[in-house]
Each structure stands twice: as structure tokens, then as C-alpha cells.
């Protein structure tokens, strides 16, 4: 980024050089992401709709001129973002939840087994509706008195966007439900999708007109639905399959099975997926999966697996939900998609804690709708083909620069190399030699340590700690990240820039940026501007107050992840108490160590890491300067005077008045310990309908059993 003349008016997109456009594109992408988050998640927008639209328009204009900037991550491609304007929010009367995933046959057998046990059936004669899992956007259509009144996207499950005007343009969505005896209130749910053929044709048209090119049919369906102008949606061929329901007037369920409901949707005028099938056993479910997978490539719409649902609705109701997914249904996904490409180079990335991760630089290749250019190679032994047991990389394969590799990507999982095509290995393929020095300018020595559980091989680490600039920047990135200080508009690239310029060397510097800005003049950075700078300072200011657990996590101590940070925050309650304990632990104070050790989830590794961190004067300085800038909010200490303080509680069966997570959180807040299994040490078991083996265990050990209501009475709620 180069500095430009002072307070420039916005240049016409047509006059930007490619480099300038790139910087602005990046900045706008971050800015839009921030605004979307504040609008959709925090309900606290900081700009007007008109200002937002202007940013979007400029962003779209840049992408239109330089289509090569479009990536799958661009806000123009995001399913959760609006290409133009915003839509009214709609609260779902019944949340739109998601399904748990099964990948292996075993997962499906376990799923059925759990159902049979839960329902205490004598045999496994459960009927399932088996349906293709359409890779589109789920939609909830609300009919009142038989007329379509609202169409809403899933959003975060609780609240979606009102896209009624656009949905009305879909041929597959009836404006009025057919048939008599339609429930007065009736929400039909299903998937909006675009056919592969329509997607390809649309992209051709978009290309010719210089408009956004979509990465896959799902993105193009999302983009087509989120148009401010319904005539645009009308020009895009979108389909809809009905497969579920939300609110229905009391006592008006038209059918008592999932398969019956599907037939009822058809009678109402909806399309349902023609491959849907009623299955009577696990074997039939697996055969269905296999058969659909074989047909997948030939289908004219994208699917990413199949869905199994218990057919009887009364059983679905008894089975209920575990946190956010139903016990009565599961998505059986298809295996990860694979692609072949060439490994061009291997680079070393130095993480926040100094550990080295070799990253494979690939000849870009599309896998499952995403362009992949980087792939993690884990560690030295993995590259040598000796550090794995063939679980990921095919056994005995070593990886060389120049090799043709097979990469795999499953869902959100980071892509991995799963095989090396030896036949294609060029004569000049280069073996990779792991560096003996850190690639940072200090060239510090490298040590080795055993990797975390579950990962094979040893990990190389830089010994430079905070003196190593790579570690410093990674640490700063963690500091501003979503789960730590969550500073909008200070993305990785900006941070790197501020760091390279020497403006932000440690966390406290972020909070003094505004004070120093009369000298720094951030608004003069090319591609920045007065508004972005004002927004950035606003975002920083709003984060000056921070919860203790986030603060502890943001310090970036090794082995102190979010859960550990929360346990520490709850254990000590205030920053002063925690800080005092850390300093004592660092001095080897045995009493302080024992006190920390007594906390739930805290053990030797964490204590040693805290001692190391606070044993370093450099770190103590960083913390001291930072605490002068921010206000740390005390954590809620678990109550010690409640009826259940100190007791070990197990929840089993289905709870009706609260979710499991809620029940657990409340119990913990009241000082109880929540466990997943019953033993002699358990004090109380709270059993809801459907409780099985845990209830039996409780009776065996003579543990006191309460109903949900009795529990609520005990805790006074």
C-alpha cells in the first residue's frame, strides 16, 4: 500500500489502477463484512442503508471491472450477505435448525440404534423417509388462511430475511394452497435451488454483461434471491422442493407421518423431490445412499448427501432435539470431493506459538465448488511419509515439490493431500528440507516438541518467542480475532500493514492508534479514507470494555483456549485476582499453584504455560500496558450458596422447559458440576421423558432422581 495525496475524493472505479482497485476491494470486503455482522448478528448497524448500498455498489463495480478479484469468500458470493440493499428481518415462530452429519455406515447404524433405544422399541422396525439433501437455501413459507404471507430465509435459524416479493416470482411456490381443510396457519419449509444447467447459462450471461460470476449453483440461487428488484429474481430460474414444516395451527396437522406430509405438500400444489423413498431398515437406508450417489452426477441439481427422517411424527416429537439438531433425523453426506493438481512449492508458516506448519502451494484447482491453492502438510514427518498411519495420506507416500498430488476437501474441513501420484513424479522433483532456522529475520534456532494428541509426528518451533516478528503478528491476529477482542475493520491484512509500518507492535498500541493519528494520518493510506478510519476507531473504542474470559483468551497463552480461559475467568472472578495468581504461579508459589490446580479443567500443562508466560518480563510489560487501556469486566463467579452448589448433576432424557445447554449453563452458574455419566459420585440425576440407561445407573447407585419440574423448584426457577 502506498500513501496518496491528502483527503482525495473517491476516484471513479474506471480510473483506478489494478493495484489501487485490489487494495480498495480488500478494504471494502472487510468493511462490508463488518457491517453485515453488526447488522445481522449484533443488531447494531453503524451506517444507514443508503451508505451501505453505496459501499456495496462501489464494491460490485470493482468486481465487475476486475472479475479476477472474485473469490468464493467475496461478500458478493456469500450466502449470508445481500448483493444489494437489505431485507426486513423475520423471526421464525419455530426455529429453523439443522441436521447432524453422518459420514460412515457406522454413523448411520448408531443413529438408528440411538432411536431404537430412546423409544425403547423391542425391535428396530422404524420407518424412515429417505430424501436427497438438496444443496440450496432453506426457506420457510408462511401461509395464513391458505394465502402466502411471508417467505423467509433461514438466517441464523432464529431470524431470517424477508424475501417474500422475490419468492412470489417462483413458479414452484403456490400463492394460494390448493385443497380444502388447509390449516389456518401453515408454514411449509423446503429448499430453493438453481439447476446446474440454469447456473451455467446464467454465468454465461453474467460474463457477457460483465456481471458477477457465481462459484456454484447454491451461491447463484442465494444471489438471485437477494435482489432488491423482484424482476431480476423472476428472470433467474429457481426451483423449490418442499420437505418440512414449521408452525401449524393447533390440532391441524394434516398427516401423521413425514411421507404423508410430503404427499400432502404435493396436494397443496408444491413440488417434492421425486427420489424420496420410504425405507424400512438400516440396510435400505444404506442402499438408498448408494443409489442416490450413483445418480448424483446425472441429476440436474446439486445434492451433497441424503437425509433420513423418522417417518412417524409422534415419534419425532418424542425424540425431540439435542441442542440444535433433531434426534429423529440425520444427513448422510457423500464422501469428500477430490481433485488432482501439482505441488509447486512448500512454504513454512510460523504460528502464534512459534510452531512451524509447512504449507503446500498448489497449482490452483477447483474442489467441490471452491478454488484451492494452499494445503496444510502438517509437519516434517508427514512430508516424509513416515509420520502418518495412512489415515489421511496414503501409507508410505512422501511428498516432493513438483509432485502431482490428490487433494481432498470435505465440507468445511481444510483441504488435505491424500495421495501422491508416483507415476507422474517428474525426474527433477525436489525433496523438501525442513529449515533449521526460523524464516523470520532473526533466523532463530528451531527446537522440536511432541505434537498435540491426535496428531502424528513432532512439530518444529522457533525459539524466538515474542522476539520473533512472525509470532508477534500471529499473536496480534489472535488478539483482534472474533473470539478475542473482535475488532471489526482490523482484519489480518490491515493489521499486517500497521505492523510492518511499526504502528502496532503490541496489543496496547491498537488502543492508542487514535491518539497517535495526528501523526500517523491513517486516512491518507491509499484505499483507506476518512470513513473507514472513523469506523475503525469506533470499533476499537467499542471494545475497550471486555469480559474477563475473552481478555484471558486474547492474551494468547499456549494451551489457554476459549474453554480454559472461561474456566480461569470463572475460577478467579476478577482480573486482579487472576493476575495476582498468575504472578504468584510464575514465582513458583505452591499455594497459588494448588489453588489453580483445584479449578475445574485446569491441569499441569496450563499452569506451566501460565507460569512461562508471566515469568517473562516482556510479557508482563505487554499485559501491564494493555490493562491501562482497557476495562476488564468481572466474570460471574458460580454461586456457592445455592441449593446445588458443589453437587454433581447429570441431565438425561429430553427436557421440555429448557435446552440441554441452558440447563447445563444454569446448573454451572449455581455452582454445580454437570457430568455426562452417572457414577457413585453423582449427587443428582434430572430425568426427562425417554431417559434410559443413565436412569437405570442412578437407581443402581441409589442416586437421587428428580423430574425437570422438581429440579426447577429446587433451584428456585
Near ligand IVH in 328-347, by CB under 6 A? 331
* Pairwise CA distance, residues 530 & 524, whole Å: 8
CB nearer to ligand IVH: pick between 257 and 404: 257
CB nearer to ligand IVH: pick between 307 and 622: 307
* Pairwise CA distance, residues 612 & 504, whole Å: 24
* Pairwise CA distance, residues 536 & 504, whole Å: 14
CB nearer to ligand IVH: pick between 102 and 367: 102
**Choices 22-30, 127-135, 464-472, 580-588 (CB under 6 A): range interacting with ligand IVH:** 127-135
CB nearer to ligand IVH: pick between 35 and 133: 133
CA distances from residue 609 to 101, 241, 710 in whole angstroms, order as listed: 36, 53, 43
In SS3 terms, 348-406 reads as: EEECCCCEEEEEEEEEEEEECCEEEEEEECCCHHHHHCCCCCCCCCCCCCCCCECCEEE
**Choices 32-40, 95-103, 215-223, 566-574 (CB under 6 A): range interacting with ligand IVH:** 95-103
User: Are the C-beta atoms of 548 and 557 separated by less than 8 Å?
Assistant: no
CB nearer to ligand IVH: pick between 138 and 227: 138
Binding status of residue 288 toward ligand IVH by CB under 6 A: no
Alpha helices in 239-337 (DSSP H): 258-268, 282-295, 313-319
Binding status of residue 191 toward ligand IVH by CB under 6 A: yes
- The beta-carbon contacts of 92-96 under 8 Å, at least 24 apart in sequence, are 92/140, 92/152, 92/155, 92/157, 92/158, 92/159, 92/160, 92/246, 93/187, 93/246, 93/247, 94/187, 94/246, 94/247, 95/157, 95/158, 96/138, 96/140, 96/154, 96/155, 96/157, 96/160, 96/189, 96/246
Q: Of 214, 243, 572, 614, which lies in the binding site for ligand IVH, with binding defined by CB under 6 A? A: 243
Which SS3 state, helix, strand or coil, does residue 326 take? strand
Q: What is the smallest separation between the CB atom of 307 and ligand IVH, expressed in angstroms?
A: 4
Q: What is the smallest separation between the CB atom of 302 and ligand IVH, expressed in angstroms?
A: 10
Selected catalytic residue, list 6, 120, 133, 309: 133
Q: What is the smallest separation between the CB atom of 83 and ligand IVH, expressed in angstroms?
A: 20
Cell of 69: 478479484
Cell of 411: 465440507
Binding status of residue 659 toward ligand IVH by CB under 6 A: no
CB nearer to ligand IVH: pick between 199 and 240: 240
Binding status of residue 133 toward ligand IVH by CB under 6 A: yes
Which SS3 state, helix, strand or coil, does residue 623 take? helix
**Choices 93-101, 433-441, 584-592, 696-704 (CB under 6 A): range interacting with ligand IVH:** 93-101
Q: What angle do CA 496, 500, 505 make, to 5 degrees?
A: 85
CB nearer to ligand IVH: pick between 99 and 554: 99
Q: What is the smallest separation between the CB atom of 287 and ligand IVH, expressed in angstroms?
A: 18
Q: What is the smallest separation between the CB atom of 527 and ligand IVH, expressed in angstroms?
A: 37
Q: What is the smallest separation between the CB atom of 329 and ligand IVH, expressed in angstroms?
A: 6
Q: What is the smallest separation between the CB atom of 244 and ligand IVH, expressed in angstroms?
A: 5
Element at 194 (helix H, strand E):
strand 185-194
Q: What is the smallest separation between the CB atom of 212 and ligand IVH, expressed in angstroms?
A: 23
Which residues touch 66 (CB under 8 Å, ≥6 apart)? 18, 21, 22, 25
**Choices 94-102, 212-220, 288-296, 681-689 (CB under 6 A): range interacting with ligand IVH:** 94-102
Active site residue 133: yes
Q: What is the smallest separation between the CB atom of 265 and ligand IVH, expressed in angstroms?
A: 12
CB nearer to ligand IVH: pick between 99 and 630: 99
- Over the window 144 to 163, marking each residue x when it contacts ligand IVH by CB under 6 A and - when it does not, the resulting string is ----------x---------
**Choices 128-136, 288-296, 546-554, 619-627 (CB under 6 A): range interacting with ligand IVH:** 128-136
| Residue whose C-alpha is closest to residue 126's, from 247, 284, 287 | 284
Binding status of residue 98 toward ligand IVH by CB under 6 A: yes
Cell of 238: 429457481
Q: What is the smallest separation between the CB atom of 658 and ligand IVH, expressed in angstroms?
A: 19
Binding status of residue 97 toward ligand IVH by CB under 6 A: yes
Binding status of residue 326 toward ligand IVH by CB under 6 A: yes
* Pairwise CA distance, residues 303 & 135, whole Å: 5
CB nearer to ligand IVH: pick between 130 and 478: 130
Cell of 89: 428481518
Cell of 518: 495526528
Binding status of residue 131 toward ligand IVH by CB under 6 A: yes
**Choices 130-138, 168-176, 508-516, 651-659 (CB under 6 A): range interacting with ligand IVH:** 130-138
Side-chain-side CA neighbours of 232 within 13 Å: the count stands at 15
Binding status of residue 138 toward ligand IVH by CB under 6 A: yes
Binding status of residue 127 toward ligand IVH by CB under 6 A: no
Q: Of 1, 108, 141, 307, which lies in the binding site for ligand IVH, with binding defined by CB under 6 A? A: 307
Residue reference for cell 444443496: 135
| Residue whose C-alpha is closest to residue 571's, from 561, 649, 563, 684 | 563
CB nearer to ligand IVH: pick between 133 and 543: 133
CB nearer to ligand IVH: pick between 243 and 485: 243
Q: Of 62, 126, 151, 244, which lies in the binding site for ligand IVH, with binding defined by CB under 6 A? A: 244
Which residues touch 107 (CB under 8 Å, ≥6 apart)? 101, 330, 332
Binding status of residue 289 toward ligand IVH by CB under 6 A: no
User: Are the C-beta atoms of 531 and 27 separated by less than 8 Å?
Assistant: no
10 Å CB burial of residue 186 (0-12, 13-18, 19+) is buried
- Provide the binding-site residues for ligand IVH, judged by CB under 6 A: 97-99, 131, 133-134, 138, 154, 191, 243-244, 307, 326, 331
Residues carrying an active site annotation: 133
Amino acid at each position: 500500500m502506498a500513501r496518496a495525496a491528502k483527503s482525495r475524493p473517491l476516484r471513479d472505479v474506471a480510473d483506478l489502477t489494478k493495484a489501487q482497485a485490489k487494495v480498495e476491494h480488500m478494504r471494502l470486503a472487510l468493511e462490508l463484512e463488518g457491517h453485515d455482522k453488526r447488522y445481522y448478528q449484533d443488531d447494531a448497524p453503524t451506517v444507514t442503508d443508503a451508505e451501505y448500498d453505496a459501499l456495496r455498489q462501489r464494491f460490485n463495480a470493482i468486481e465487475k471491472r476486475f472479475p479476477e478479484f472474485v473469490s468464493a469468500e467475496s461478500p458478493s458470493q456469500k450466502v449470508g450477505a445481500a448483493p444489494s440493499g437489505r431485507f426486513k428481518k423475520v423471526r421464525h415462530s419455530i426455529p429453523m435448525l439443522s441436521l447432524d452429519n453422518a459420514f460412515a455406515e457406522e454413523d448411520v447404524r448408531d443413529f438408528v440404534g440411538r432411536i431404537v433405544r430412546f423409544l425403547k422399541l423391542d425391535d428396530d422396525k422404524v420407518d424412515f423417509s429417505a430424501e436427497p439433501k438438496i444443496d440450496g437455501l432453506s426457506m420457510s413459507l408462511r401461509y395464513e388462511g391458505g394465502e402466502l404471507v411471508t417467505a423467509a430465509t433461514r438466517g441464523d435459524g432464529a431470524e431470517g430475511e424477508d424475501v417474500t416479493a422475490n419468492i412470489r416470482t417462483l413458479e414452484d411456490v403456490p400463492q394460494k394452497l390448493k385443497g380444502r381443510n388447509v390449516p389456518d396457519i401453515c408454514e411449509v419449509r423446503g429448499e430453493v435451488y438453481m439447476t446446474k444447467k440454469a447456473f451455467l447459462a446464467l454465468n454465461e450471461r453474467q460474463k457477457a454483461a460483465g456481471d458477477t460470476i457465481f462459484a456454484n449453483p447454491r451461491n447463484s440461487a442465494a444471489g438471485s434471491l437477494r435482489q432488491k428488484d423482484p424482476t431480476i429474481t423472476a428472470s433467474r430460474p429457481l426451483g423449490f422442493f418442499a420437505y418440512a414444516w414449521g408452525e401449524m395451527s393447533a390440532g391441524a396437522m394434516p398427516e401423521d407421518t413425514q411421507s404423508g406430509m410430503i404427499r400432502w405438500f404435493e396436494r397443496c400444489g408444491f413440488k417434492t423431490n421425486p427420489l424420496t423413498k420410504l425405507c424400512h431398515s438400516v440396510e435400505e437406508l444404506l442402499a438408498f445412499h448408494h443409489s442416490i450417489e450413483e445418480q448424483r452426477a446425472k441429476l440436474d441439481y446439486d445434492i451433497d448427501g441424503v437425509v433420513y427422517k423418522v417417518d412417524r411424527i409422534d415419534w419425532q416429537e418424542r425424540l425431540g432435539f439435542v441442542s440444535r439438531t433433531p434426534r429423529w433425523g440425520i444427513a448422510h453426506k457423500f464422501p469428500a470431493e477430490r481433485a488432482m493438481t501439482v505441488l509447486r512449492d512448500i512454504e513454512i508458516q510460523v504460528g502464534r506459538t512459534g510452531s512451524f506448519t509447512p504449507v503446500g502451494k498448489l497449482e490452483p484447482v477447483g474442489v467441490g465448488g471452491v478454488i484451492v491453492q494452499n494445503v496444510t502438510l502438517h509437519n516434517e514427518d508427514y512430508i516424509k511419509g513416515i509420520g502418518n498411519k495412512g489415515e489421511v495420506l496414503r501409507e508410505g507416500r512422501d511428498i516432493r515439490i513438483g509432485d502431482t498430488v490428490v487433494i481432498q476437501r470435505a465440507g468445511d474441513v481444510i483441504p488435505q493431500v491424500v495421495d501422491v501420484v508416483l507415476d507422474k513424479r517428474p525426474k527433477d522433483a525436489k525433496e523438501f528440507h525442513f529449515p533449521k532456522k526460523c524464516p523470520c529475520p532473526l533466523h532463530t534456532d528451531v527446537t522440536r516438541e511432541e505434537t498435540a494428541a491426535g496428531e502424528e509426528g513432532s512439530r518444529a518451533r522457533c525459539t524466538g518467542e515474542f522476539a520473533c516478528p512472525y509470532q508477534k503478528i500471529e499473536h496480534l491476529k489472535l488478539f483482534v480475532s472474533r473470539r478475542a477482542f473482535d475488532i471489526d475493520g482490523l482484519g489480518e491484512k490491515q493489521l499486517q500493514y500497521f505492523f510492518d509500518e511499526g504502528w502496532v507492535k503490541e496489543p496496547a498500541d491498537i488502543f492508542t492508534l487514535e491518539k497517535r493519528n495526528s501523526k500517523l494520518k491513517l486516512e491518507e493510506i491509499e484505499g483507506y479514507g476518512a470513513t473507514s478510519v472513523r469506523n475503525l476507531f469506533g470499533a476499537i473504542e467499542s471494545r475497550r470494555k471486555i469480559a474477563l474470559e475473552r481478555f484471558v483468551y486474547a492474551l494468547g497463552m499456549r494451551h489457554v483456549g476459549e474453554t480454559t480461559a472461561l474456566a480461569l475467568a470463572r475460577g478467579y472472578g476478577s482480573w486482579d485476582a487472576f493476575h495476582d495468581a498468575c504472578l504468584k504461579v510464575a514465582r513458583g508459589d505452591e499455594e497459588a499453584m494448588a489453588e489453580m490446580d483445584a479449578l475445574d479443567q485446569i491441569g499441569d500443562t496450563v499452569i506451566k504455560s501460565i507460569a512461562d508466560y508471566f515469568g517473562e518480563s516482556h510479557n508482563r510489560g505487554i499485559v501491564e500496558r494493555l490493562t491501562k487501556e482497557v476495562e476488564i469486566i468481572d466474570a460471574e463467579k458460580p454461586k456457592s450458596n445455592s441449593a446445588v452448589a458443589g453437587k454433581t448433576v447429570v441431565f438425561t432424557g429430553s427436557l421440555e422447559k429448557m435446552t440441554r445447554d441452558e440447563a447445563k449453563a444454569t446448573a454451572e452458574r449455581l455452582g454445580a458440576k454437570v457430568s455426562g455419566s452417572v457414577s457413585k459420585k453423582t449427587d443428582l440425576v434430572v430425568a426427562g421423558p425417554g431417559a434410559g440407561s443413565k436412569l437405570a445407573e442412578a437407581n443402581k447407585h441409589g442416586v437421587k432422581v428428580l423430574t425437570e419440574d422438581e429440579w426447577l423448584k429446587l433451584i428456585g426457577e
